[in-house]
Amino acid sequence: MAIDLPFELIDRLRVAKRIVAFTGAGISAESGLSTFRDKQTGLWAQYRPEDLATPQAFRRNPRMVWEWYEWRRGFVAKVEPNPGHHALARIEAARPGFFLVTQNVDGLHARAGSRNLVELHGNIRRTICFEHRHLAESWEPVEEPPPRCERCGGLLRPDVVWFGEALPENALRRAQEAAAHCDLFLSIGTSTLVYPAAELPFIAGSNGATVIEINPDFTPLSKLADFVLREKAGVALPAIAATMLE
Ligand code: APR
């Protein structure tokens, strides 16, 4: 289903030189992955965040946290990037000044071919040890999960940013820099609730960038955005890519 973009937006898309795309769980919804806050299917609907995605939760019940992420990794392994992910990869290939910042940990952007990106909240497919963050490529099976780090014997965990943990410094700095210097900022499929990532569209807007929100629902960014496309990412992004690649 193609959509008609507003003429003024088409002009902005055509002249944009430094483009930042900022994505959240909504861009992976059409791949079949639950988002965090959709009530009826959202992951949190079944669990309380403080019971799972925090260092305290892991210390309290490492097996439950490990097994929840194993369950999520199983889902991620079974799904494919969707037209929204592929559209962003096409824009990157055509526009040298394109930069992708994702909050998602599912690795779908890289699988769709995006290269110039930062993963602000880590990647669920990467595993590290809790004590020293040693990268773990493989581990011995264990009776009582989580498995152990082969270098230090510490418990293994997913390399994702939990509530209360710092974001990877270099990734956040690059994202803030890109937001402050871009002329077009696409905010896609995010509830714009979780900081510091959620500040990025506001940094872009306050530095004069054209801000476009792509989200079927209202968010705190909606009233600030220059354009709001109440569309699914898998519908809006192919239309945007087609306009930019004409
Ligand atoms: N296309 C575009 N947007 C969509 C679609 C879709 N097909 N389906 C849902 N959305 C929107 C929802 O309306 C919602 O605003 O995507 C947004 C998803 O919001 P969240 O579930 O809050 O996900 P996100 O914004 O990525 O959460 C940010 O919070 O839980 C932490 O670390 C986690 O990275 C995550 C962060």
* Domain boundary, last residue among 109, 140, 160: 160
Question: Residue 201: what pLDDT?
Answer: 98
Do 104 and 66 belong to one domain?
A: no
Do 19 and 47 belong to one domain?
A: no
Do 110 and 205 belong to one domain?
A: yes
Per-residue pLDDT of the chain (246 residues; tens, 9 = 90+): 678 999 999 999 999 999 999 999 999 999 999 887 765 456 656 777 667 899 999 999 999 999 989 988 998 999 999 999 999 999 999 999 999 999 999 999 999 999 999 999 999 999 999 999 999 999 999 999 999 999 999 999 999 999 999 999 999 999 999 999 999 999 999 999 999 999 999 999 999 999 999 999 999 999 999 999 999 999 999 999 999 998
CB atoms within 10 A of CB 122: 20
Closest CA to 189 of 40, 36, 62, 13: 36
CATH code for position 93: 3.40.50.1220
Domain range for 39: 34-78+123-160
Do 39 and 104 belong to one domain?
A: no
* Domain boundary, last residue among 111, 141, 160: 160
Do 103 and 207 belong to one domain?
A: yes
**Ligand 1: centre distance to CA 28 (Å):** 9
Q: How many helices (H) and strands (E) does the chain have?
A: 11, 9
Do 233 and 218 belong to one domain?
A: yes
Question: Residue 43: what pLDDT?
Answer: 60
Displacement of CA 119 from its chain's centroid (Å): 7
Do 107 and 185 belong to one domain?
A: yes
Do 133 and 238 belong to one domain?
A: no
Do 64 and 86 belong to one domain?
A: no
CA distances from 66 to 7, 74, 112, 135 (A): 49, 12, 27, 16
Catalytic residue list: 121
Question: Residue 73: what pLDDT?
Answer: 93
Closest CA to 119 of 133, 104, 108: 104
**Ligand 1: centre distance to CA 201 (Å):** 15
* Domain boundary, last residue among 133, 160, 187: 160
Do 116 and 132 belong to one domain?
A: no
Question: Residue 246: what pLDDT?
Answer: 85
Do 184 and 224 belong to one domain?
A: yes
CATH code for position 53: 3.30.1600.10
Overall number of domains in the chain: 2
Ligand 1, CB within 6 Å, residue ranges: 24-26, 29-30, 35-37, 103, 121, 189-191, 193-194, 214-217, 219, 232-233
Four-residue CA torsion sign, 209, 233, 112, 202: positive
Q: Which atom of ligand 1 is nearest to the CA of 219?
A: 15
Closest CA to 104 of 203, 182, 206, 30: 30
Question: Residue 156: what pLDDT?
Answer: 98
Ranges of H-type helices in 34-127: 43-46, 49-52, 55-60, 62-78, 83-94, 108-111
Do 74 and 184 belong to one domain?
A: no
Question: Residue 45: what pLDDT?
Answer: 63
